[in-house]
Amino acid sequence: MTRDLPDGLPDRRRGRLAGRIAVIGGAGSVGPGWGNGRATAVIFAREGATVLLADRDEESLEVTARQIRDEGGTAHASVLDVTEPAAVQAYFAECERRAGRVDILVNNVGGSRPGGAVDLSLEDWESQLRTNLTSAFLACKHAVPVMRRGGGGAIVNTASASGLRWTGAAQVGYAAAKAAVIQLSRVSAVEYAPDGIRVNTVVPGQLHTPMVEARLAHQRAGGDVAKLLAQRQARIPLGFMGDGRDTAYAALFLASDEARFVTGTELVVDGGMTARCD
């Protein structure tokens, strides 16, 4: 078993998504390295998909798109706030106009705020639901009709281990929203199965993504990145942290024909953390 991936993505290119049109929300990254969205976009493009990228950070989005194009892939980038209903509706109409259909949707937008029910403000609670849950709802709402017209598709929603259990810090808004994402996927999977649309959830655990340095260390460890990494790694039975590439490879399986009989379920990517009883 290899614990350490090289700094770049292993270039495996087996054409698992050849000819597919894939929309990836949250395709940028809050810093250098492999966030979930950027890794997913690059891997999907390498596997033959035309990727339609959306993110509210234009500069970060362009970094992802440029990497894909430099490798010979096809990427179209659009600045989008996925919490704005009219903007999301217009975006999927444009995707259908541009590409003719949408075969794959990956909802990857998210972010946490610390605080339990007492400490978290109502404003932050509503913001957490809007960012982590409403974003996925809106994308599904407007992607499903396009997928129906195209004969089916695959939706992969990104939740979090915090939606399954306590993961070491009070973040009630984030945890509640991510738990709801899992149920959004399950209900949608059953409802839209007759349309040939599969809906599943990737559930990442405590990964070492750019989010750790950019935000989490300041929220939870006074800016001490090494301290936060040690705390997170101590919870993982495998003894090391994955990163956005691990989430991306899980999403690749669920989006591909290899998962043709998989819907309404969760693929947990957490090094065994949620299997622990302590």
**Mean of the per-residue pLDDT values for the chain?**
92
CA distance 106 to 118: 33
Its pTM stands at 0.92
State yes or no: pLDDT of 215 exceeds 90. Answer: no
* Higher local confidence (pLDDT), 14 or 251: 251
Closest CA to 167 of 228, 108, 251: 228
Give the neighbor-by-neighbor strand order of the sheet with 21-25: 74-79, 50-55, 21-25, 104-107, 153-158, 197-204, 266-269
- Residues in a beta bridge with 104: 22, 154
Q: Domains in the chain, ordered, with CATH?
A: 21-209+242-269 (3.40.50.720)
Tell me the one-letter amino acid at 37.
G
State yes or no: pLDDT of 55 exceeds 80. Answer: yes
Please tell me the predicted confidence (pLDDT) of residue 7.
54
Average pLDDT over residues 76-89: 98
Which helix (H) or strand (E) is 269 found in, with range? strand 266-269
Q: Which two tokens stand for residue 38?
A: 């950027």
Query: Among 2-6, 226-230, 235-239, where is mean pLDDT lowest?
Result: 2-6
Given pLDDT bands bounded at 50, 70 and 90, which one contains residue 214? low
Query: Among 101-115, 117-131, 204-218, 254-268, where is mean pLDDT lowest?
Result: 204-218
State yes or no: pLDDT of 93 exceeds 80. Answer: yes
Q: How far is CA 235 from CA 93, 125, 205, 270, in A?
A: 43, 26, 10, 10
Please tell me the predicted confidence (pLDDT) of residue 58.
96
* Higher local confidence (pLDDT), 11 or 207: 207
Task: For the chain, give percent helix, strand, coil, nearest 5.
Answer: 50, 15, 35
Please tell me the predicted confidence (pLDDT) of residue 14.
84
State yes or no: pLDDT of 211 exceeds 90. Answer: no
Please tell me the predicted confidence (pLDDT) of residue 9.
62
State yes or no: pLDDT of 5 exceeds 80. Answer: no
Counts of helices then strands in the chain (DSSP H, E): 10, 7
| Strand 266-269 relative to strand 197-204, pairing | parallel
* Higher local confidence (pLDDT), 223 or 22: 22
State yes or no: pLDDT of 209 exceeds 50. Answer: yes
**Catalytic positions, please?**
174
Please tell me the predicted confidence (pLDDT) of residue 6.
46
Given pLDDT bands bounded at 50, 70 and 90, which one contains residue 226? confident
Please tell me the predicted confidence (pLDDT) of residue 113.
94
Query: What 3-state DSSP class applies to 196?
Result: coil
Please tell me the predicted confidence (pLDDT) of residue 4.
47
Average pLDDT over residues 202-230: 76
DSSP 171: B
State yes or no: pLDDT of 52 exceeds 90. Answer: yes
